[in-house]
Amino acid sequence: MLSQSPGPIGIFDSGYGGLTILHGIRQLLPQYDYLYLGDNARAPYGSRSFEVVYQFTRQAVLRLFERGCQLVILGCNTASAKALRTIQQRVLPEVAPNRRVLGIIRPTVEAIGNLTQTRHVGILATEGTIRSQSYNLEIAKFHPDITVSGVACPLWAAIVEANEADSPGADYFVGKRIDQLMRKDPLIDAIILGCTHYPLLMPSIVRHVPPGVRIVPQGQYVADSLKDYLSRHAELEKLITRKGTCHYLTTENPDRFKESAQLFIHEQVNVEKTELG
């Protein structure tokens, strides 16, 4: 039986993109302790099947539970789209009924109603997130008057992880996908960046997005939502330790993680290797 001892907030991502979510949360809630887990050895998840993403995500969540996390955030759109509901419905009741796992799609969806005037919204995301229709379904639930169009950007995350975000090739692929999205629906006035890697492509994205179209990265909205969630769940909030620390786990070479992580958060990180599966 898992203990009810206080522990850090867990943040999981298939790779490095969840570091942008972690950064947003730490900016708003610096008092808590955090434990980040990147399954970098098996990234990316974007094109993997629902079953594989679920199994990988389950392994990661259980590892974070073992390390004392009472609350885990899936800082990955693909995991949130393909695994969150099954984790909540199947895993938690069986192994950790008092612990919580949250995703990052709903906070952005809840906010989008205030960010569009035309009620036409675009999604740029991985192939898996687009195919899952998760954003479309969630937006339809909260904002049935909004029209949603999505385009998969299969190379964007790989470009970021290869440290090529400022390259001419990156600019070409960013422009190509944004043009494709705007051709699908020229009335779009807000574009959700539905992958946590994409904020690192922001200079290119800004160059190619038409004037008057708002770009919506997720970090701020996830952080605001988490703050609200903890204020409404005092019994869970009491089980989060508060020393302002942040530690990192990776399934790949720790030295490579340290080097790549600095692209996302611009600080030295304390990282150890872990095995999943």
DSSP string, the chain: ------BPEEEEESSSTHHHHHHHHHHH-TTS-EEEEE-GGG---TTS-HHHHHHHHHHHHHHHHHTT-SEEEE--HHHHHHTHHHIIIIIHHHH-TT-EEE-SHHHHHHHHTTT-SSSEEEEEE-HHHHHHTHHHHHHHHH-TT-EEEEEE-TTHHHHHHTT-TTSHHHHHHHHHHHHHHHHH-TT--EEEE-STTGGGGHHHHHHHSPTTPEEE-SHHHHHHHHHHHHHH-HHHHTTB--S--EEEEESS-HHHHHHHHHHHH-S---EEE----
Phi, psi angle pair for 45, to nearest 5°: -95, -15
Environment class of residue 265 by beta-carbon count within 10 Å: exposed (0-12), middle (13-18) or buried (19+)?
A: middle
Q: Which of 85, 112, 116 is nearest to 101 (CA)?
A: 85
- Token duo for residue 72: 């885990």
Return the active site residues: 76, 195
